[in-house]
Amino acid sequence: MRNIRYCIIRLEVTHPGQVVEISQRLPMHVNRCTGYLSRHTQGIISGSDLPEIGLLALEFNSRKQLYINDVIGFQKDIGDIPEYLDVDIPLMNGQLVTGYYLDTRKIEPKECSHKVFAPYKVSIYLRCDYVKPDKDVRSSAIHTTAAGAAKY
C-alpha cells in the first residue's frame, strides 16, 4: 500500500530575468520521489497561452543528482487536471532539493513603456512515497538495552 506526501516548493519572481535559487529540505520520512509537476501559480494575466516563462533545474539529495530540467509555461484556459510526470528518485533522509529557476519572459520594449513587470509565483510539486511506521511497536523492542540491563 502506498503512502503519499505532496511536497510543495514555492518560488516568487519579482523582476525580469531573475534567477531564484532553490534550497529546500524534504521531510525526513519520505524515501522516494515518484512524481513531479511544476506550474505557474499566481501573478501572470495573459489573454493567450505562454509556452515559456522560465527554466527550471532541480537536483536531489543535496546536489548529488541532477534529475529534472523543465520549461515552465503559462496556460490561460482551465483544461484537464494536471498530471504528474512519473519519476523514480530515491531520497536520502532529510536531504536538500536544490536548483534554480530562471525567468525568461520576453517583454517587448514597446510593452515595457506602458506595462510594469508583474511579480508571479511558481510552484513545484513533488509526489513522494513514505513508509508508515508500524503502529504496534512494543516498548521492549525499542528499549532493548534497558530491558536487557534490567535482567542483570
Partner 1 sequence: MKNHKFQQIRIRINTSGESVRFTVETDKLYAIVKAIHVSLPDSRMLVGTSLGLKINGQEVFDDAHEVRLLTCGNQVAPNKKFFHFEERIEAGGSTVEGRFTDPGNLYKAKYPYDVKVYLWLVNDPQHKR
Write out the residues near partner 1 by the rule CB under 8 A: 1-8, 10, 37, 39, 41-42, 77-82, 121, 123, 125
CB of 72 to partner 1, least distance (A): 14
Cβ-based nearer residue to partner 1, 44 or 55: 44
Selection from 56, 68, 50 nearest residue 122 by Cα: 56
Contact 65, 106 (CB under 8 A): no
Nearer to partner 1, 132 or 151 (CB): 132
* Helices and strands in the chain: count of H runs, count of E runs: 3, 8
For partner 1, give the closer residue by CB, 6 or 93: 6
Nearer to partner 1, 116 or 149 (CB): 116
Cell numbers found for residue 106: 520576453
Maximum Cα–Cα distance for the chain, whole Å?
86
What gap in Å lies between CA 43 and CA 117, rounded to an integer? Answer: 10
What is the nearest approach in angstroms of partner 1 to the Cβ of residue 4? 5
Give phi and psi for 144, each to the nearest 5: -65, -40
* Least distance to partner 1, CB of residue 41, Å: 6
Q: How far is the CB of 87 from partner 1 (least distance, A)?
A: 14
Q: Are 35 and 85 spatial neighbours (Cβ–Cβ below 8 Å)?
A: yes
Considering beta carbons, is residue 77 or 108 the nearer one to partner 1?
A: 77
Q: What are the cell numbers at 95?
A: 536531504
